[in-house]
Amino acid sequence: MTLKDSADAVLAGLGAVRSELEEVYKDLHAHPELGHQEHRAAAGAAERLRNCGYRVHEGIGGTGVIGVLANGEGATVLLRADMDALPVLEETGLPYASTAEATDASGRRVPVAHACGHDMHVTCLLGAAQLMAAAPEAWQGTLVALFQPAEEPGDGADRMLTDGLTDRVPHPDVVFAQHVLPYPAGQVGTRAGSFLSAADNVKITVHGRGAHGSAPQAAIDPVVIASMIVVRLQTIVSRELAATQPAVVTVGSVQAGTSGNVIPESAELLVNVRTYDDETRQAVLAALRRIVDAECDASGATRAPQIEEGTRFPPTVNDDGVTREVSDAFAAMFGERAVTIEMQSASEDFSRIPDAFGTPYTYWALGCADPDAYQAARQRGTVAQEIAVNHSPRFAPVLQPTLDTGVQALVTAALTHLGKPGRTSR
């Protein structure tokens, strides 16, 4: 049976379950949950997997769910979807828009929305898992469906691994994942090699000497120190890296003082660094430390700054051979809707899972923007201004053809390995 024959056989059932999957998506969208709080989504995924005949493991790393379906000898393929939402107030105007609130990790009450599209990831994987289970004659091997918590805070994959993920499932021969991005719905975009950046979050605290706002001569102003640091950090990318060496340095938060007439004792900066290789990462972080130390020294700071490295996301570097196989399969399935995509400066913790297994992987983009609106904005040169991006309160994938395409992509990718003679799971 050829790959096309297998895909046609599995996907023949999509029409019969389409409306059901659309309702699953709308329900998930209307009931988002923050990282490590995905109890409802996890329970729903586990129930649907069991109903399809999967052997299910729950509560891995907190709320992680795994379904394993063995279907004879052959390769083992792992498909991953993330489940968590964001502390964002939804402004999409959809009839199934979220009005949910939750208490975040710091104890604050916040609005919650699926402003990154993880609800679509979950629904697509549930659909692919259901269709694969319904057509066992079309493939052979073992399919693992993994629903991961807490991608947004960056520790969901690590928690699943710490909780014994690699001992609970068959060793995969390949791992796949996808993410909705603001490209035309119906497109799938692949890229070999570097795809998503690494990300480092850094907290900087600079120390001065407080005084009355009317007597700056009595102070060492940490607000001025912080301001100079913000400006100088912008020169790392523009003046210390080659034009062919991509990186991003963003100061996302500056906090100091509580009154206009009081010079505070300290100031805090939160910095985000994006890089694609370890050499660039080390160079940028070293430059950051040098600049912070120098600015504090130049201003006569009362003590050395505190530079604390926080959450780190690894880079996503797709395997060349696996990506080529999947790209060829997508070209046969989707025709001109299968495209090569540029590197993205977003970050993910997905790669920690295949890296822990020592397994090759590929991760692709799933277009989710209204194709007509995207094309009109492109003609006007206003895509960045008009097409809502991930994490925007106005971000929401168009339901179709995004959902169908995502299910088709996962099934097609899985079938590049399942059922191939001579390939066995390790």
- The SS3 assignment for 99 reads coil
* Three-state secondary structure call for residue 18: helix
Under a CB-based contact definition with an 8 Å cutoff, are residues 195 and 207 in contact?
A: no
Which backbone phi and psi does 376 adopt, to 5 degrees?
A: -65, -45
Q: How far is CA 293 from CA 179, 240, 319, in A?
A: 39, 17, 39
278 phi and psi, to 5 degrees? -65, -35
215: DSSP letter? -
Place of tokens 């790392």: 236
pLDDT given at position 425: 37
How many Å apart are CA 318 and CA 324, to the nearest integer? Answer: 10
CATH topology for 199-313?
Answer: Alpha-Beta Plaits (3.30.70)
At 339, list the tokens.
């495209």
Contacts of 400 (CB under 8 A, 6+ apart): 22, 185
**Dist CA 416 CA 409 (whole Å):** 11
> Residue ranges per domain, the chain?
3-196+315-415, 199-313
- Is residue 18 within 8 Å of 11, Cβ to Cβ? no
For residue 193, give the nearest of 122, 285, 123, 277 by alpha carbon.
Answer: 277
Three-class secondary structure of residue 397 per DSSP: coil
Distance, CA of 375 to CA of 334 (rounded, Å): 19
- Which burial class, exposed, middle or buried, applies to 371 when counting CB atoms under 10 A from its CB (0-12, 13-18, 19+)? middle
Confidence at residue 242, expressed as pLDDT on a 0 to 100 scale: 96
| Residue pair 348/200 in contact by the 8 Å Cβ criterion | no
The CATH code belonging to domain 3-196+315-415 is 3.40.630.10
Whether residue 183 contacts residue 368, with contact meaning beta carbons closer than 8 Å, is answered with yes
Q: DSSP code of 191?
A: -
How far does Cα 206 stand from its chain's mean position?
Answer: 32
User: Mean pLDDT by 10-residue block, N- to C-terminus, for the chain (426 residues)?
Assistant: 92 98 98 98 98 98 98 97 98 98 96 98 98 97 98 97 96 98 98 97 98 97 98 97 95 96 98 96 98 98 96 96 98 97 95 98 98 96 95 97 98 90 40
Q: What local confidence, expressed as pLDDT, does residue 422 receive? A: 38
Cβ-contact 209, 302 below 8 angstroms: yes
Is 170:76 a contact under the CB 8 Å cutoff? Answer: yes
Structure confidence at residue 423 (pLDDT): 40
The amino acid that residue 222 corresponds to is P
**pLDDT at position 80, please?**
98
pLDDT of 1 reads 79
Q: How far is CA 96 from the centre of its chain?
A: 23
Q: Residue 60 is encoded by which pair of tokens?
A: 């891995």
- Measured CA to CA, the distance from residue 307 to residue 286 in angstroms comes to 11
Q: What integer pLDDT is reported at residue 424 of this predicted model?
A: 39
What pLDDT, on a 0 to 100 scale, did the predictor assign at position 420? 52
Whether the Cβ atoms of residue 233 and residue 254 lie closer than 8 Å to each other? no
Q: CA end-to-end span of the chain, whole Å?
A: 23
pTM for the model stands at 0.92
Given a contact cutoff of 8 angstroms between Cβ atoms, the answer to whether 48 and 130 are in contact is yes
For 404, the token pair is 């169908």
